[in-house]
Structure 1
Amino acid sequence: MTNTSYPLTSANPLDEDISAEKTDPEADRASQPRRPGGRVLALVRLALGWLFLWAFLDKLVGLGYDTASGSAWLDGVSPTAGFLGSRSGLLGEQFQSMVGSAWADFAFMGALCGLGLALILGIGLRIAAIGGTLLMLLMWAAMLPLANNPFMDQHIIYALALIALAATNAGHTWGLGRPWENSRLVTTLPVLK
């Protein structure tokens, strides 16, 4: 039996391993074609941010859209009264018991404002995704049983969108995500990323 040895290097220069070469990540990023995905996600982020911030402002001062003038939180009306007060499904009694309680009003309004600002600014998207998903799941649970679908509604879609925005660093495009992540506060407390 003959012992045949094969060379460790290839005669073809195209087959050589180029992974040992040092590359500049910034130069690589600049040389790659720009994909529209980042801009599309930024538009989704801004649209969702506006949706949450508008809901906060409307419930705060009664802009005459979903909340009539004179029926705002600043007028002494509970911002949770409309949505939670009308629940009569599986968990209706539990959610109706929260209507008008100060903790529920502050938590709901704080969540709307915080989500809106985080999404519009592109900062704190991880914590916004966690808090926003929790809010959306609670609102989804308050709707059970759903009228138009066995399990899917807009609250689940919003929660999935929030998770996707955080997972893809959507705050880096048309937002303050990059400087936010490099700030001393976020490097000290990475949970705020």
Structure 2
Amino acid sequence: MSITPEHEERSSTTVPGRREPRVTAPRHARRATGGPALALLRIAMGLVFLWAFADKLFGLGYSTTTAGAWIHGGSPTRGFLGSVAVGPLASTFHSWAGTGWADWLFMAGLFCIGLALVAGVALRLTAVAGTVMLLLMWAAEWPLARFTSVGEATHSTHPIIDYHVIYALVLIALAATLAGDTWGLGRRWAAATGDRAWLR
């Protein structure tokens, strides 16, 4: 009796009426494809944050006009937080809107999270910081509400799961799977931080 290794293709004589064994890619080869896929997801996620940073900084004309650019005196948080009309934290967000500390903290978060994701470093810290930021943005949009405080439809498509929640789960998954090790500086970062695992 011979045992065919998992990574070798089985060869047998065709027997009429008998289904031939299905040959699939070896397990380690399929597992290896996960690294590049996660790396692409990581980089794409990082570019989402970096683009938001650049648009608000320079006013590239997408979500931020040139006149509203941060470098031209605009506020990255005034428009979004100032227009919150749903949820129990609406008044809190209104008080934060346009303040210097909120603008700087928001922009620093976008830039640092985006840069860390693209570079593949500090993914644990990035997942924590990014999740906090995204959950605050989720609370500002409050998808549980179907109507705003003035009775207008919110057009919420799901009471809990929206893109903020999905993005947060992506950040957590990237950190948990060491996604920075492929096409990134994750291994070097881990070696440099040593026992300070929370920085990884």
2: CA distance, partners of 1:119 / 1:145: 27
Residue 134 in 1 paired to residue 143 in 2? Answer: no
1:169 alignment partner, one of 178, 181, 187 = 178
Specify every segment of 5 or more residues in structure 2 that has no aligned partner in the other structure, as ranges: 4-27, 145-155
* Structure 2 counterpart of 1:97, one-letter code: S
> Percent sequence identity over matched residues?
53
**Which residue is 2:49 aligned to?**
52
2: CA distance, partners of 1:145 / 1:49: 24
2: CA distance, partners of 1:72 / 1:81: 12
The farther-off stretch of 130-139 and 69-78 is 69-78
Of the two, which has the highest radius of gyration?
Answer: 1
- Superposed displacement of residue 189, structure 1: 3.0
- Superposed displacement of residue 80, structure 1: 0.5
* Structure 2 counterpart of 1:116, one-letter code: G
**Which residue is 1:69 aligned to?**
66
After superposition, give the CA deviation of every residue in 1:156-178 in whole Å (9 maximum; x if it has no partner).
Answer: 00000000000000000111101
After superposition, give the CA deviation of every residue in 1:29-78 in whole Å (9 maximum; x if it has no partner).
Answer: xxx43621111111110001000001001101111111111211111111
Query: What value does the CA root-mean-square deviation take over the aligned residues?
Result: 1.5
Specify every segment of 5 or more residues in structure 1 that has no aligned partner in the other structure, as ranges: 1-13, 15-31
Q: Is the 8 A contact 2:143 2:162 kept in 1?
A: no
Q: After superposition, where does 1:90-169 map in structure 2 within 5 Å?
A: 90=87, 91-146=89-144, 147-169=156-178
- Superposed displacement of residue 92, structure 1: 1.7
* 2:96 aligned counterpart, secondary structure: coil
**Which residue is 2:12 aligned to?**
none
After superposition, give the CA deviation of every residue in 1:83-114 in whole Å (9 maximum; x if it has no partner).
Answer: 21221002222111101111111110011001
* Structure 2 counterpart of 1:78, one-letter code: S
* 2:63 aligned counterpart, secondary structure: coil
Query: TM-score, normalising length from structure 2?
Result: 0.77
The farther-off stretch of 118-127 and 34-43 is 34-43
**Which residue is 1:178 aligned to?**
187
More helix by share: 1
Aligned residues: 161
Residue 37 in 1 paired to residue 34 in 2? Answer: yes
- Superposed displacement of residue 188, structure 1: 5.2
2: CA distance, partners of 1:131 / 1:145: 21
2: CA distance, partners of 1:86 / 1:129: 27
* 2:160 aligned counterpart, secondary structure: coil
